[in-house]
Structures are given as C-alpha cells and as structure tokens.
Chains A and B, each alone.
Chain A
Amino acid sequence: MSAIELRNVTVNIGSKQVLRGIDLQVEKGEFMTFLGPSGCGKTTLLRTIAGLQQADGGTIVLSGREVANGETAYHLDSSKRGLNLVFQSYALWPHMTVFDNVAFGLRIRRQSKSEIRQKVMAALDKVRISELETRYPGELSGGQQQRVAIARAIVTEPELLLLDEPLSNLDARLRVEMRAELKRLHRELGATIIYVTHDQQEALTLSSRIAVFFEGKIVQVDRPQALYRRPATLRIADFFGSGGMEMNHVDGRILFAGDGSLYLSSPVCSFALEGRLNALPDKGMAVTMTIKPEHIRLQRHFVPGAIACEVDTVFPAGSETTVTVLAGGRLLTVRLLGDADYDRGDTAYLLLREEHLNLYHGDTGELLDGVRPASLSVTNHASNPISYDQNHLLAEVPTR
C-alpha cells in the first residue's frame, strides 16, 4: 500500500488549469521532492494533498484511504488526513510562545497536560531547540523559526509530512546546515516526506526520488542520480543545468557512413554511435548533444582524442574554477576542481567523458535513450574522418 496515490489529479484556480492530470505514487518512508520552476504547480499539488486546495478532478488516496475525489467533489478535511505541513513562511503564530505554538495541535486533540509537555519537549529536542520554549517567534532567528515550524508539524506524529520550500527564506550557510538536519529527521522519524523546492541542488541532496514539474504536469520521476545523469528531455536537462550548474549544448547531426555505421557530427567533435540505433530515422537528423561542465576535462597538452580549444574567460571560485573555452566556434563551460592556471587566449585541450554525454532529438527535445558514443571514439573535429560542412548544418538545423 502506497503512502500516496494520485490519479489524474486536476486543479483549476480561477479559469486557469494549474494541475493538468497528475499521476504519482509515493511509497511509505520515501523522501519525495517536487521540483520545478515557480508557477509550475508543485505547491498547488502539495496544498491539494494537504487538503487546503480542492481537487477538481482525479482522486487522492493516502495510505489506502480516499481523501479527495474530483468526480464526486468529495473532500476530506485536512485535519483528518493524518498529515502536517511546514509552510514556506513558517506561519508561526506571533502571539504564542514556542511551546504554545508546538502544543497547539495537541491541545486541539485534548491531550493531557503532562502528555503535551512531554511530547512538545521531545519534538523540540528532535529539532534541537528545547531551550527556546518560552520565547516568542519574533525573538528567534530565521533558522530557529524554521525549526519551530518543523517541531510543530512533527509533534502530532503525522504519517505524512509536507514541506513547502522550507529553506528558501534562509541564508546560504543555514540552508546547508538545515539540509543535513532534514536528512537526519527523515531518518529518525521514518515518516513519508513530500518536499517542494525549486532548488535543484537541494532536491538532489535530500530526495530518495524527485518529480520534475513543468506547467502543471509531472515530466519525469526518478532517483536523483538518474535525473542528474539522464534527464528525459532537453528542457529538464536545462532546468537542472541552471543555478550554478550550466549545461553545455552543442547542436549536431547524425550522419550515415558508407559502411552503414552512424556518426554524430558537430562543430566541436564527432564520434561513432552505438546502442539502440535502429530506433533512429534512416536519414540524417538534427540532434543536440549535452554535457555538464564537470564532465569535461581540460588540459594543457594534446593527447589522442582531445579537442583543441582556446580559453575565453576564467572564473576562479576557490574550491573550483569555471573556465569558458571556444571550441569549433562554440563557447563551452568547463568546471575544474581547485584553482587552475589558465589565462585568456591560452590554447588547451578538452576531453569529454563520453559516458556523461546525452543526445536529444533536435525537434522534440527528447532523450535518445540508449544511443551513446562508441567507446573511445570521440575525436577532435580536425581529425574527424567525415568532412563537416558548417554552412550546411546552419542551413538545416533550426536554431534554438
């Protein structure tokens, strides 16, 4: 029995369809993250699961119990769903002390005084702020307020804990610290957690699975590693490539060699392809090749297979250095560990880690699943056996 089962959930707000048929299954104890740009409907889905928003279509089943049904307009009160929510703004009641804030739900449930005291202290202990019980929210720092909000949500021992962008109001250092805390809490509580964020790194760090949202639809659900390695569409790849993790794009073309084998040809490099090639159309097609900056090696000296390039700009950032280089007329971003001793105009050589190279359909933007470079075939364009006509390419590949 899944913790959450969503079937074709739709939600309209005003005349706008915010969620357009969501299907999702979340297992017990999972840390599921809803990830997407702002306005993609992830928070709306969270609120619909919480019962703060009515579903207009589809069904929501929590631990085997139907809590919302759009077809019969059935809607179970959020207080009866066995879940709790941590709000983005924390929503701490400013006129109550930390203790009263956390005790609120227990008092509603009319538990005994000693029981309330013991549970509240246990919850405050779990988030490590038991010494703050008599303070008012206004007297706390952002991180402490965040902990109170979490304590308030876990004190009633919900089976399902919903977190709505809980770290977005914290500064960078606190955010990293709270990530670790959340991970620990998930381990200790054993509850199912749904976590909403627009921060890719947060999602990759915390989740056991990630659901990516675009425009009211889930476009991919996968484990973080899988999402990182093989985004299902170019758009997802780009979304993961934003926020300090730029993604390199190179437009190219699949060509047939005389011997019947297939090659990818691009201004930067060319290589033979292997894998599920029969799924590809007969004629040459436009593709986009992506590779992350951290999957390119940059070195001063040529080795076989390396691509010559010219250093454009160097961005040192202490622990890592980002270098942009020009190869085959294209600007590529390379990320190096530590500091790097390059200057603008230097000649250097690139090595692409081909296992991290993804190919996307030039028109639909979908991943060409199972098509990969034949091992060790990536070569410098200069030594490419297939002649490459750049003008011809520009004429036929639609610019993105």
Chain B
Amino acid sequence: MSDKPIITLSQTKPRRIKQWNRLYGWLRSPVHVIGLVGLLFLAYTIIWPVINILLTTFVWKTQDMRITAETNPGHFTLYHWQRVLASDMSLSLFYKPVLHAGAVAFVVSILSMLLGCGLAWLVTRTDLPFKKAIAFLAVIPYLLPSWVIAQAWLTFFKNDKIGGTPGIWQSLTHMQTPDTLAYGFVPIVISLSIHDSVYFFLLVGAALSSMNTQLEEAASMNGAGRWTIIRQIVFPLMLPAILSGFILTFTRAISSYGVPAILGTPVDFYMISTMLYSSMRARLTTEAHVLSLMLMLISMLMIYWNSQVVGRQRSFVTITGKDNPRTLQSLGRWRKPTALLTIGSMILVSVVPLLILLVQTFMLREGVYSWDNLTLHYWIGGSISDINSGEKGVLQNPIFLLALRNSLLIAAFSAVLAALLGLLLGYAVARGRQTWIGRTVDQVSFLPYLMPGISLSAIYITMFARPHWIIPALYGTVWLIILITVVKELPFTVKAGGAAVMQVGGELEEAAQMNGASWWTRFKRIVLPLNRKSLLSAFLIVFIGAMKETELIIMLVTPRTETLTTLTFAYVEKGYTQLTNVVLMIMISIVILVYALATRYGKADLTTGIGGQ
C-alpha cells in the first residue's frame, strides 16, 4: 500500500498534478531536452534565416531607389523576382549561369561516378597490387581545396592572351593554348571531377567492402555470369551509395565557387555561385538572395528525386557482421597494366599539381624556367616594391600569420564544436527515433545539406551584420565563420553521431541508469568513450573541411578574419601566383599532417564522416 496517497482532494487538482508530472517527466528525459535545445538552435540558424531571406525578396529596399523610381521601401513587390527571372538582364544574371552550373554539375557527377566507382571496385574487389598506396593517393584531392587543381591547371595551361603571363605549356612549346582548353567549361569540369570523385570512391568503396561476397557467390551458384552478377546483384545493392554520392557531388559542384572563379570568370563563364558573389559585391543584395533561393530550390529538387529513386531501397542490409574471406576478382594479364595506369593517373592528378605549385613558389619570375630564376623570396623575402607591389614573403608577412592563426582557430573550434554537437544531436536522433522530436531533429539537421554554402553565407551576412536579440553582431568576427562551418557540417556530423550512438545499444545506458548514473555521468562515462572513434572522425572531417573551405566563408571574411584560403584567394585575384602557392603549400601540409595523425593514432575514418556506413 502507498503510505502517502498523491491524489487527495478535488477533481481538478489531480488533473493539474497529472499535467505537471507529465511535463516534468517529459523534460527529465535527456532526449527531449537535447532535442528541444537542438531544435531551437536549428530553427534559429537554419529555418529562420531562410524564411527571413525569402520574405525580404518580396519587399522594396531603400537601395533599390538607385535602380528604379517605383521603389516604395518596406512594401510588397515582385520586382526582384521579376528582375532575376524575367527581365532583359535575366539571361546573363540567371539563365546562363543556371545553365552553366547545371551542365557543369551534371557532367561532373557523371565523370566522378565513373572514376570513383571504378576505382572503388578496383581497390575493394580485385587483386590489384599496391592497393594501400592507391587508396592513399585517391584521398589526396579530397584533402585539398577543390580549386587547387584549378590553380595548377591554370599554371600549366594558361596563355598570355588572357592570363597575362604564359603557362608552363606555352613556355615549353611556344604554342598558345586555346582559350577553351585554358578556361571555361572543360577545365572546370575536369578540376571538379578529379576532386569530387573522392566522394564516390569513399562511399561506394565502403559499401562494396561491407557487402557480403556470398551474395555474389550465391548468384554464381545459380548460374549467373559475371556481368549478370554485377548488373543484377552488385549494382542494385550499390545504388543507394551511388545515388548519395551523386547528390553529394551534384550539390557541391553546382554551388562550387573557387573553381569557376579561377577558371570561368576570366572568360565571363559565370555559374550561379560566381554570379551570386559578384551580385553581392555589386550590392545587388536582394537579387543575390533570389539567386540563393533558386540555387537551394535546385538542390532540393535533386534530393527529392534522389529520395524517390532510393526510397525503400535504403533498407537493404549489406552488412552481415560475418567477416568472411573475400573472393577477389582476378585481373589476369591486365593486373600490372591496370595498376600502372591507375597509379600513373593518380600521381598525375594528386601529386603532379602539387609539385607544379611547389616548383612555382621558387620562381622569381613566372614562366621563366632557368636555374638563376630560383629564389626563396616568396617564402622568406622582405618587401621589394617591384615584386607584387611590395607584398612581403609569406613567412615574413603579418597578414599570413594572422590568417594562419585564424584558420587554425576556426578549424579547431569548428571541428570540436561540430563533432560534439553532432554527437549530441545524433544522440537525440538515435535514442528518440520513436518520438516526434527525434525525427524532427533528424530532418531539420539535414537542411544545411540543401543549402549551397555560398547561399548560406549570403544569408548570414544580412542576419548577423547587426546585433539582434541576445546575439551580438557576429559579422567581422571568427565566431560567425565558426558558426557557419558548424551549421554547414551538421548533416554529416549528426548522421555520423546518430549512427555511432545507434551502435551503442540502449541497454548499455539503461544499465548505468539502473545503477543510479545521471544522464551526464552516462554520457561522460559510457557514450563518449564508446564513440571516441567516430567523434574523432567527425573532428577530422570538419577540420579538413574548415581548413580548405572557400565557398562558405569567402563572403564572410573581413581583413581581421582573413583565413589561409581567403588569403590565397585574394592573392589569386591580384595575380600573385607564387605567394598563392606558398600559402597553399603550407595549408596543404597542415591538412595532410592532421589527416595522417588522426588516421594513424586515432583510427579515424573519413568514410563515416561523409555518410558511409
């Protein structure tokens, strides 16, 4: 019997007690609290900005007075949409860039798919020699900003007609490279494909290596030929991985900024992102926002299409937990040629560009290939007014030191915050699968994926330019860059965190709960230590992402928050090729060093970070 009955008096009181107990009980569940706080954060950093921007595109602004007399500040108008979508400047402002971006993204996705899947198959399923070396080489492009390859391309292929100075090719052969090879669609597609095929390689590679070979053997027992097996067994099972790779590549490529800025802008080949950037620069803020929204819309349509195709297939279980010996496909007499060809082309795309850029840093005058042209000036030299308008050698330059400090600060903070936030929200998603709050967190945290980095930053500039509510004006501080990096990486970190928490069975935590452990103790002593590896992987992926990030922050930086990437980009725009490359070299060394340390000592794994199993 109960000693002290809780219900005593009238009818209304127990009801109130019940409601109170309900609320108290609901709030005591860590999943609910984390989910609620997480949702507030997501609403503020993702949903609200988008709605806000959408609304501003329908309102006249004071600055519009410069353009038209109709302006009626603060009132509703369709003017901006009409200007972007249906006016005499729409063709150059919207339709051409969209067409360019769409074509580039599509071709890049197809090329990356062929390259990445082929490579993944070779590495996981055949008896190809030197697999470890190949896998390492394949990841290198991922460790570099996507436009490094573009920069290397330009160094090699540019012509003196548009580039000012001749590239290596022209210097050696004295033949002017055609514009279409040096600039525009072709080099953009090639640079992006080389970089983005890594996504396919990692995703499809992970799926292939976790697929039970017995599935193939069973088909073979049933009389299926090699080609039938690939078509009817392997391909359908790989489809989810291939499609997520496709989406990832497409959305990244369509919103990429660095590569088209370097290779497209000199020949007026604009993509949405570069057009967005120049609109922003030209103070056509509202038009830029319309472009952002259109870019988002295109990405969303792609994802929707993906979910339609992949839909139910996600439930495929390809992991059986049984680690059976793999039967490798023998390449026969093609084994050596394939290995040579693979390694050769990998070196060509991963190592050669870096070497080209490295050699460049020691050349006093660009395009002059002789021994007396070698110098360390761009590394350690002082200010000489004839060279680069007196810009000092990188290691002497206080701006470089500031940028280095900022980059490290941003990358380290974002990585720690994003990994922790990912694990926490992932916890709410994994443990709250049955509740609306868990599902909502899952879906909302995916939204930044739909938002091209350049659109997100266009929105954040407006949102954080002034202090509002309790948030100070973050624009001009590194905190805004950290915030946007964390938000942009959420889809990956939350997915990775959720998957990791899912692997730690709920009973492990309940056992601690039975022994009286509070949620914080449980998290600290059980969840965190058991998820160390995935936490480190998330850290790594965000760190590398932040170190090489261009699209996301190019519009947000101010002289005080200059980072290595934006500094290099500023040098690119001024044509300080050698300085650009020096900074790039330093940046790349940092990334590769961190990658090597994390994978070697922390057993971090890149694939978990980008959505592999």
Contact = CB atoms under 8 A, between A and B. Distances in A.
Interface in B491-528: 505, 507-508, 510-517, 521, 525-526
Given A69-B6, A93-B526, A95-B529, A74 B514 contact: no
Contacts of A83: 514
A79 B21 contact: no
A400 B510 CA distance: 44
Chain B at the A interface: SS class: helix
Given A52-B510, A89-B505, A93-B508, A84 B21 contact: no
Contacts of B514: 50, 52, 78-79, 83-85, 105, 153
Interface stretch (A27-35, A57-65, A124-132, A202-210): A57-65
A53 to B, nearest CB: 10
Given A66-B6, A108-B521, A84 B515 contact: yes
Contacts of A156: 515-516
Contacts, number: 95
Given A54-B25, A64-B3, A65-B2, A79 B515 contact: yes
A71 B514 CA distance: 24
Nearest to B521: A108
A257 to B, nearest CB: 53
Contacts of B512: 93, 104
B18 interface: yes
Nearest to B28: A77
B6 A72 contact: yes
A69 B530 CA distance: 35
B530 A61 contact: no
Contacts of A71: 7, 14, 18
A109 B515 CA distance: 9
Q: Which of A14, A83, A105 has the most CB of B within 10 A?
A: A105
Contacts of A69: 6
B17 interface: yes
Contacts of B517: 79, 104-105, 108
Contacts of B507: 87-89, 91
A105 B529 contact: no
A145 to B, nearest CB: 12
Contacts of A95: 529-530
A2 B591 CA distance: 65
A178 B18 CA distance: 44
B281 interface: no
B515 A105 contact: yes
A73 interface: yes
A95 B533 CA distance: 13
B336 interface: no
B224 to A, nearest CB: 37
Contacts of B516: 79, 105, 108-109, 156
B434 interface: yes
Interface of A: 1, 5, 14, 50, 52, 54, 59, 61, 64-66, 69, 71-75, 77-79, 83-85, 87-89, 91-95, 104-105, 108-109, 152-153, 156
16 contacts: A1-B1, A5-B1, A64-B1, A64-B2, A66-B5, A69-B6, A72-B6, A73-B19, A79-B513, A79-B517, A87-B507, A87-B511, A93-B508, A93-B525, A95-B529, A108-B521
